[in-house]
Amino acid sequence: MTQTRFLGPSALAVSPIGLGCMNTTAAYGAAPDRSAMLALLQHAVERGVTFFDTAEVYGPLANELLVGEALAPVRESVVIATKFGFDIDPVTGANHGGLNSHPEHIRTAVHGSLRRLQTDYIDLLYQHRVDPNVPIEDVAGAVRDLIAEGKVRHFGLSEAGVSTIRRAHAVQPVTALQSEYSLWWREPEERILPVLEELHIGFVPFSPLGRGFLTGTMDQSTAFDASDFRNNIPRLSPENRSANQRVVALIQRIAVEQRASSAQVALAWLLAQKPWIVPIPGTTKPHRLDENIGATSVTLSPHDLDALDAAEAMVQGARYVERLQAQIDR
């Protein structure tokens, strides 16, 4: 993968498809074998992936430790993004619940991330969720100070609404917004994408494969581990998985015509939306990583794109349970 895309007004250069690292420690069931995940991250580097996404809360702490160890030998040739924003003890990893983006906590969190990632700087630092108890201007100002000190290079937001984006950008230019976006979650198109284009902010879609559903590898009989995060996704309940097979069938039809996989079609659709969109599919399997990278070679026709636009209207089930949806900034 030799192509490059650029995020933000400062043109942060990254591979067109990054790697979401969350499930290399835990999220979709039991934690994978650590040595295998180190090898996966190293394989990603060998295949040309330069953009790696982690967070303090993944584990907590364990994911940054894994990513830091894997990427230390190639640190200068990769872009590492991580996140702050939850009320987590940066030493023990104890999650106290709720959000915490107070400036002093941001600074403590960043120092912890730097240690775990074995680096002197964080390429892209996101606020993981907007904290309603802390003015976004204070958050942006804290990150601006860290950038001035050389500890952070770029500022990002996650799941932020239009007003928050504008207010933050006025204090410290925002390089990227990370939010969910895929063939079956199109909400960002209405208000978010226009303001990102206006302000020259890049977009990093997480869950670009619908948490695995758009790959066509699960149906109503698929059983999730009791600790699997997908148990919190209403549209992935057994009855909704059955109804949503219509979406998969649409993608599969185009995949056959393209001689590609369903995952590649779903990712190619995202890449075709804007040149400043960089999806970060996650995986724990090298062959799936290779498959995802292959999406950069798939060119969808205008007819394909029009046909895929019908997917959103077919989706049944909410994105999140109410408790999680309440954390999303509007």
| Residue numbers annotated as active site | 58
Q: What is each CA distance from 51 to 6, 11, 21, in whole angstroms? A: 11, 14, 10
Residue 50, CA atoms < 13 Å, CB-side half-sphere: 17
| Three-state SS at 28 | strand
How far apart CA 308 and CA 292 sit, in angstroms, is 18
Helical (H) or strand (E) element with 88? strand 86-88
- Please report the beta strands in 164-297, taking only residues with DSSP state E, as ranges in sequence order: 174-180, 202-206
Token code pair at residue 162: 């239009």
Contact between residue 131 and residue 161 where contact means Cβ atoms under 8 Å apart:
no
Token code pair at residue 226: 């009791």
Contact between residue 320 and residue 232 where contact means Cβ atoms under 8 Å apart:
yes
How far apart CA 186 and CA 15 sit, in angstroms, is 23
